[in-house]
Structure 1
Amino acid sequence: MPPHPHRLGLAIALAFASPAIAQNPPPEPASTRLATVEVSGQVLDRRDLLQQGETNSVTGFDLSIKDTPRAVTSVSAELIDLLNIRDLNDITTLTPGTFTSSFFGVAGSIDIRGTPGENYFRGVRRVDNPGNIPTPIAASDRLDIVRGPASPIYGPSKIGGYVNFVPKSARAESGAYLDKAVGEVSFTTGSWDRAVLEAEYGYKFNADATPVGYYLYGLHENSDSYYRNDGTRQSVLQAAFDSDINERTRVEFGVQYHNYHGNQNAGWNRLSQDLIDSGTYLAGTPLLNLDSDQSGRLSQAEIIAAGGLSAFVFAPGLTTAGPVASFGPNGANAVFALDPASVHQVQLSRKNVLIDPEDFLATDTTTAYFDFHHTLNNGVQLTNKLFFDSLDTELQNSYGFSQVIDTYVLEDQLIASWQWDASPNVQADFEFSPSVRHTRAKLAEDFLFEFLDRRDLSQGPSANDRIETAGLFDSAQFVNDLTTDYTDYGLAALSNLTLYQRWHALLGLRYDVLDIQSRQARTATAGDAGQQASDTDSGLSWTASLGYDLTDNIRPYLTASTQRTVITGQGGEVSLANVELGALNASRLYEAGIKGNFLDGRLFTAVSAYRQTRTNFSSQNLSTNTSTRGKGIELEARYVVSDWLSLIGNSAWQDVINTNISAGGQFAFFNPANSGIAPENSFGGTVSGLIDGRNKRSGIPDRVSSLTAIVKPTDILEVFATVTDVASMPSGFSGVVRLPGYTVVNLGSSVSIGQFEVQGFINNLFNERYFRANASDLFGSNLVLPERPRSWTVRLRYRF
């Protein structure tokens, strides 16, 4: 039986309850710790554009962005607020290589360098979240976007990279040194009845004469949506506490709770190039009404009785349902056809998407941490980090998909760090870290009766296209009902060497042992129902970087890394097949770059070139962790020109190849242009098959560039403009539909008078018509998400 989270947590706590623990010494008292204004030369860097602070979320060592031998961008809460960054998809304006295709409209995580990324919370990996709940950007104090796999100190990770989320409640670290309480209250409104209320408060209290800093944050949103039948209801609560018990010992602990109610958004169906280019949609309802019992929806039994609505193309002109010629109103496969009397072309509104008023996505997450820091007499600093994260999701889509997820992770890291000054010319920092991470993942999903094109979006849902799904209707069964338990035992060592004040070498090594077991429930309809698989896998990860200070302000670097990756699904589960093939796969990165500070520190630039590969692609998950080989070049610049003008620019060129193509091609759902079946003869059901010939990853452009200008003409007024230019891209793996490139302009302003602030924003100023590919590897030739038109936002804030 897998360990219960509370018992496992107690065992870990007892195992590491030694006089331990801190990676960094207690911070120096400073009543201005919450301030974000920094001085670079004689110019004020109000929004921390120049990223001059240190972060340990990349290598494990406290290094500045310039001195970190990896491509990384840090984005402050002040910059997120000023530029009205609404979700993770907007991060593209601030960091290169992060353009993200849609995962059914939910910005849970981002694509980095063309492959799915991960989310970290204060440097610890969270439960996988491709599209279960949007990451609450507004609740962050800082985002660190790391491109490429994580350092070995953090354990197995995906090749693309990750976003390290530092919560606003992290400001508790400075609460013990505040002379008075600080906080703010804000209300945000905007297009489509947007309504968001936020409040935060920080101060200190004494516990047995020991000051304890605390910070509280809350968000509540009740907003409608541009899309019909959509909306967002969510609440985020954070609390954090920080205390120096004595000169050598400090504790940090906190919690975040996020409750979300909304929808997944599949966007437009019945995709064609004409629909993209001119908005012309093929309307029409299915020829045959399969709702024989007049229940108002289709049961799985009714669909089976009609002969089924799925066909697989196994040879040109031939499908598992019969030859292509048999599809049509007068053929043997008339059940796939639309009623000829109803077929016509219409102009489709971008508001009309594949969301039923009955659909819902309900998710709760709870994240908690407890860090205990201690410095030994010999100067060794010890840190024990205990971390918990849970994800509970229920999803229902009436076009035939449902999902239930109940997953948690519990992790403990013990980190010992010390310094060694061998001579004036040789200095070194070291870290040694054993860790254990347990995951219990449970996912149940129903997808065999998922028919995306059956519904006519110009008319909306009907009894003949609403499907009874498992979890909501007793008549339906889950296809997969997987439970996975796995424990990762890791041992890592890192060193950061400085030689002759100019040469810098970062070396890391990690060994992981993964004990894993997956079980398919007997009630599942999958072919492996009632079966289980278990394995003990192991692997070595390493990283090596070399940098050289050409001057005090310019450092080129080279990095090579091999990192282990656990191939999981949408709920963190691992399929039985992937357990048997080996769930612990490998990724490899080669990166070269140069970073520099110029013009008295007012200009920061970074250029990186990379090549990265999933080296073992026997195991894969098409929706969350595809096997890829990518290469690219990324440029980034931040320039504080003067007290009143700042500039941010970035650009990325990338080429991402799918490496998991079998001899027959990659499985995908077919567009009529792939199947050879006329649209009006196939949209009543689903046609799939293997697509051969192309191997470039779809839904990802090969070039994205962005430029932002921030102007502060007076002490009370600040304005900005952002321009983002995206190249065209294929929507799906087959490439039969291509999404046009686009340029989007956003504007905003902020007026501050005393403790009050008013902000106003216009997104998509010129009302650009553009699209984002939706789950591109599987459904990219069938679905596309039309993006929102011009919109406005106003925020009122009071600070104290």
Structure 2
Amino acid sequence: MRLFLMRTSASTLLTGALLLAAPAAAQTNPPAGGEVTVLEKFIITESAAYRAGEVLPTSRPVDSVFGPGLSVLDLPRSVTVLTPELMRRFDLQGLGDLGRIGAGTQTANYFGIAGTPYLRGVKASVFFNGMARAYQRNEMPVSFGSLEALDLVKGPAPSHLGPVPEGGYANFIPKTPYFDRARGTLALTLGSHAHRRAQLDYGSPVLLGTRPAAYRVSLTAQDSGSYWRNVGNDYVSAYGALKVQLTPHLRLFTGAEYYDFHSNENPGWNRVTQDLIDRGEYLIGEPQNIVSSAWGGLADQSLITFPGAFTGQPANFRALILPAATAEARIAPGLLALMEDRRGQDGGYRYTSAYFAAGGEALTESIDGATVLADPDDYADARDFLWFLDLVSTASADRTVTWKSLVEKIATDKHSSYGYAVATEQLVIENKLLVEQREVQPADTTLTYGASVRYSYGRTLQDFAAEPFNRRDITRPVISANSQVPAGTDLDPNGRNLWSTSIGGSTESDLWQGALFGLARTKWTEQFDSILSVRAESVNYRADLPKAVGRATLAQRLAAEREGEKHHGSGSLSMLWRVRSDSSLYATYQRGTALQPGQGGTVNSRSNFASAELKELGAKFARPNGRLFAGLAAYEWENARFNDRENRAERLRGRGVEFELTWAPTDRLNVIASAGSQRVFRLDPLGFRARYATAERIALESGSFDAGVTPTPARNPSLVYPGTPETQAKLDVAWQVAPAWGLSVGAVWSHAFYHNFERTLVLPASVVWRGSVHWAHGPLALRLGVENLFGEDYFIGADPNFSHNNLVTKAPSTEGKLTATWSF
């Protein structure tokens, strides 16, 4: 059978499709008048599929939740469907961008690197082609170079998919080869802050012997600064995929991506006060000089960590010192006399308790959001290799058998001179067998069952012994050696590295997961469906301190050795009632286990496996003409997250309401809107973390990390979780003004929210506008996009688990990007 797929006309495709019904002998004799391309059903299906998905969520099936072929209208879960068109429109280039669209989606800052999505106020997982990827908190920003589209599934993953973090998951839909003809694009982007990005994407059908096949490659390179000084975002992504019809009933889809990322962390502003948030008033000064040649010409770490900074030192040893000229010009002589004169040793005057008791104030200078706690010599580098495979057999008309494989290997290396370092390695290998049996009786049931085996290796070397965030004055033009603290691979005076000697801080682990699972979708009547999902899993883990921990004693290594096993089950039941052909109501209940890895995907105790529960009620509506979709969901969940510093799980509960709407009244105009209100509660008392500090306390205690334990803050006895907006509304309107050009404009409104558990720091309400204009003529398309059109002052919420009282991140001001795309 000959295939001419490079320039196949629509009429030829149709003729080929009709010939499929003819006997094989007839297909070998083309009709008079010319040669006819004969295409298998597989090829026609694949050719139509690559464009699937426009603006409406109903424009493509959602395979990420309860199996293939389901419309979002028939899913008894809250899902935000992101099609290729929406990916372009909202310029979604990373997990940090997901907060621009959908209810229950947030942008959260964890030291500037979005390694995990945030859904419903908490961490979520990342899947690729239906398989869970390696967990990584902020080792790297997950590459978007290999994906075509996204499904954001909110709430714990359905039981058959396995245990994942509490917020839900983002399923990456990989770029798929083209079977109808060769095509490609070259996209070049220039933007604010020396942003440069190029992507070449190309695919074509081929013949592998006599077997129809297609391939696709996508190469992406970015060289970019950022709004924040000394913070970059450079990477290279290389992706390739292949699809082959091996036999009439056996097809293969496989692909791989290599991703190489280079940047550094962005902790944001330190020395956080409400005046800093409201008016940019930053507390200036640095503590006593403790630079030591024995510590490589940097600060003496032994005088920063416990007990060195707290015992045997002068009363004001940790207090900030103001430059002499600044103090003498701005402080009255009477108050200046109450400060400690250290002009001879440190060139200035040191704050004292007596100064503040007499009415003295901590001096500030104005600062912009771009000046952050980042050193140009810092680095956060990562390399990721991902490979996936689907082997699908359709030998039986009512049964599909699928073998799925995923391998991912991640290596990261970070060092920040304020006093933090981490190095991780991960390897994940999973194989899964699924059997989908259709038309099972007595009712109309589609039964999917199977087994999976997953192995996860994780190694984390981490040093968070010091982390004196407030030590450095970030307004100074030069980073002082006195504010650079040895960490990680740096050596102490005895020549030993500084990796943490406690399990949880530094961990090496092996985890095996074996599971049996089943999913039954039953259509009891035309109006009523049920979906039952179950999973039985057995896990085995082993953990100890990595050999590279230089200061660990034999006793510490023996105490850190862990091994154990756990046998658990999960189940969920969903009911869906079609009130009419265009509307449905649903209810879901799920109970089971969630996996909560530590940094670098490590597991060292039963605390990494938490009990998880979800209750969700919802309604969905879609107009028959496809012009409107709306969804409403109310939910409550209970889960836990793992605390690396305390090496234990911490229970959480969340509840909220979400609404999403997509309306396309004409082919040229559409509206996307959403609104959500959520609240997350911590069910266990607070543990060790950065302490809230007033301006006076920061001035007196900045020389070392100021931490402690306040189990239940007086202003927040219910331990309502801070860090992300509890209430948001989003709107985006797109108008195709003329065939050649169009525009879109949108806004995200966020209610004011608390930054810390103590409720002493409030981040302001904001309305952040964005807009874009696009033009296309022939093969050339141009798109100009602008974020934060009116320069709104707003903040990116942060995970409040540890450092929220010390750090806050102001979001970028107005930024623009111009992208030129050439299609060929």
TM range (shorter): 0.7 to 0.9
The aligned amino acid for 2:557 is A
Where does 1:384-395 land on structure 2 (aligned, <5 Å)?
Answer: 384-395=403-414
Q: Which blocks of at least 5 consecutive residues in structure 2 are unaligned?
A: 1-39, 321-337, 352-361
Residues 670-700 of structure 1: CA deviation (Å, up to 9, x unaligned): 1223xx9622111111111112233111112
Contact 1:203 1:214 in 2 (8 A): yes
Which of 779, 783, 794 aligns to 2:807? It is 783
- Residue matched to 1:113: 120
- Residue matched to 2:508: 483
Where does 1:143-182 land on structure 2 (aligned, <5 Å)?
Answer: 143-168=150-175, 171-172=176-177, 175=178, 177-178=179-180, 180-182=181-183
Contact 2:496 2:550 in 1 (8 A): no
CA distance in 1, matches of 2:315, 2:670: 60
Which of 459, 465, 472 aligns to 1:455? It is 472
How far residue 625 of structure 1 moved from its aligned partner, in angstroms, is: 7.5
Residues 154-205 of structure 1: CA deviation (Å, up to 9, x unaligned): 111122101111122xx21xx3x32x31010010001111100001001022
- Residue matched to 1:513: 538
Residues 682-738 of structure 1: CA deviation (Å, up to 9, x unaligned): 111111111223311111211011000000011111200011001111112222211
- Residue matched to 1:631: 655
CA distance in 2, matches of 1:780, 1:375: 53
Residues 721-763 of structure 1: CA deviation (Å, up to 9, x unaligned): 0110011111122222111111100010110000000110111
Residues 383-414 of structure 1: CA deviation (Å, up to 9, x unaligned): 11111011100000001110000111000000
> Structure 1 513/207 Cα, relative in aligned 2: closer, same or farther at 3 Å?
same
The aligned amino acid for 2:475 is S
CA distance in 1, matches of 2:108, 2:544: 32
CA distance in 2, matches of 1:100, 1:132: 17
Contact 2:214 2:242 in 1 (8 A): yes
- Residue matched to 1:713: 737
Secondary structure, aligned partner of 2:112: coil
The aligned amino acid for 1:265 is N
CA distance in 2, matches of 1:798, 1:502: 47
- Per the normalisation by structure 1, the TM-score is 0.87
> Structure 1 437/481 Cα, relative in aligned 2: closer, same or farther at 3 Å?
same
How far residue 98 of structure 1 moved from its aligned partner, in angstroms, is: 1.2
Which of 462, 466, 469 aligns to 1:445? It is 462
- Residue matched to 2:676: 652
The aligned amino acid for 2:638 is T
Aligned-residue CA RMSD in angstroms?
A: 2.7
Where does 1:316-715 land on structure 2 (aligned, <5 Å)?
Answer: 340=349, 344-377=363-396, 379-420=398-439, 422=441, 426-459=443-476, 460-473=478-491, 474-479=495-500, 480-521=505-546, 523=549, 525=551, 528-530=556-558, 531-575=560-604, 579=605, 581-598=606-623, 600-614=625-639, 626-661=650-685, 665-673=686-694, 678-691=697-710, 692-693=712-713, 694=716, 695-715=719-739
Residues 470-492 of structure 1: CA deviation (Å, up to 9, x unaligned): 22445532004311001000000
CA distance in 2, matches of 1:649, 1:73: 12
CA distance in 2, matches of 1:246, 1:463: 66
> Structure 1 138/635 Cα, relative in aligned 2: closer, same or farther at 3 Å?
farther
Residues 196-222 of structure 1: CA deviation (Å, up to 9, x unaligned): 000100102211211211111010001
Following TM superposition, the consecutive aligned residue runs of length 4 or more in structure 1 with deviations greater than 6 angstroms are: 320-327, 329-332, 616-625
1:308 aligns with 2:308: yes
Which of 761, 765, 790 aligns to 1:741? It is 765
CA distance in 2, matches of 1:339, 1:352: 24
Contact 1:270 1:281 in 2 (8 A): yes
**Percent identical residues:** 23
1:211 aligns with 2:188: no
Contact 2:164 2:596 in 1 (8 A): no
CA distance in 2, matches of 1:268, 1:709: 34
Higher relative contact order (CA 8 A, sep 6+): 1
Which structure has the greater CA radius of gyration?
2
The aligned amino acid for 1:440 is Y
> Structure 1 417/751 Cα, relative in aligned 2: closer, same or farther at 3 Å?
same
CA distance in 2, matches of 1:718, 1:589: 42
> Structure 1 558/653 Cα, relative in aligned 2: closer, same or farther at 3 Å?
same
How far residue 529 of structure 1 moved from its aligned partner, in angstroms, is: 3.2
CA distance in 2, matches of 1:35, 1:377: 26
CA distance in 2, matches of 1:257, 1:618: 29
- Residue matched to 1:33: 48
Secondary structure, aligned partner of 2:506: strand
1:230 aligns with 2:231: yes
Question: Which sits farther off after the overlay, 635-644 or 337-346?
Answer: 337-346
The aligned amino acid for 2:462 is E
Contact 1:265 1:354 in 2 (8 A): yes
How far residue 48 of structure 1 moved from its aligned partner, in angstroms, is: 3.2
Secondary structure, aligned partner of 2:601: coil
> Structure 1 27/152 Cα, relative in aligned 2: closer, same or farther at 3 Å?
farther
How far residue 63 of structure 1 moved from its aligned partner, in angstroms, is: 1.1
CA distance in 1, matches of 2:290, 2:797: 31
Which of 735, 749, 756 aligns to 2:780? It is 756
How far residue 261 of structure 1 moved from its aligned partner, in angstroms, is: 0.0
CA distance in 2, matches of 1:759, 1:624: 48
> Structure 1 400/709 Cα, relative in aligned 2: closer, same or farther at 3 Å?
same
Secondary structure, aligned partner of 1:29: helix
Contact 1:300 1:476 in 2 (8 A): no
- Per the normalisation by structure 2, the TM-score is 0.85
CA distance in 2, matches of 1:254, 1:536: 33
The aligned amino acid for 1:409 is V
Secondary structure, aligned partner of 1:776: coil
How far residue 600 of structure 1 moved from its aligned partner, in angstroms, is: 2.4
The aligned amino acid for 2:598 is G
The aligned amino acid for 1:434 is A
> Structure 1 376/559 Cα, relative in aligned 2: closer, same or farther at 3 Å?
same
> Structure 1 538/296 Cα, relative in aligned 2: closer, same or farther at 3 Å?
same
Residues 557-601 of structure 1: CA deviation (Å, up to 9, x unaligned): 0000013112211200124xxx1x443222000000001102622
Question: Which sits farther off after the overlay, 690-699 or 630-639?
Answer: 690-699
How far residue 622 of structure 1 moved from its aligned partner, in angstroms, is: 7.9
The aligned amino acid for 1:369 is F
> Structure 1 406/31 Cα, relative in aligned 2: closer, same or farther at 3 Å?
closer
The aligned amino acid for 1:308 is G
Contact 2:90 2:100 in 1 (8 A): no
> Structure 1 438/208 Cα, relative in aligned 2: closer, same or farther at 3 Å?
same
Secondary structure, aligned partner of 1:678: helix
CA distance in 2, matches of 1:648, 1:783: 34
Q: How many residues align structurally?
A: 737
> Structure 1 524/731 Cα, relative in aligned 2: closer, same or farther at 3 Å?
farther
- Residue matched to 2:65: 58
How far residue 545 of structure 1 moved from its aligned partner, in angstroms, is: 0.3
How far residue 89 of structure 1 moved from its aligned partner, in angstroms, is: 2.5
Which of 77, 81, 101 aligns to 2:84? It is 77
Residues 247-274 of structure 1: CA deviation (Å, up to 9, x unaligned): 2111111101110000110000000000
Q: Which blocks of at least 5 consecutive residues in structure 1 are unaligned?
A: 1-24, 39-46, 312-319
CA distance in 2, matches of 1:323, 1:298: 17
> Structure 1 49/226 Cα, relative in aligned 2: closer, same or farther at 3 Å?
same
- Residue matched to 1:277: 278
CA distance in 1, matches of 2:790, 2:458: 45
Contact 1:453 1:686 in 2 (8 A): yes
Question: Which sits farther off after the overlay, 62-71 or 284-293?
Answer: 284-293
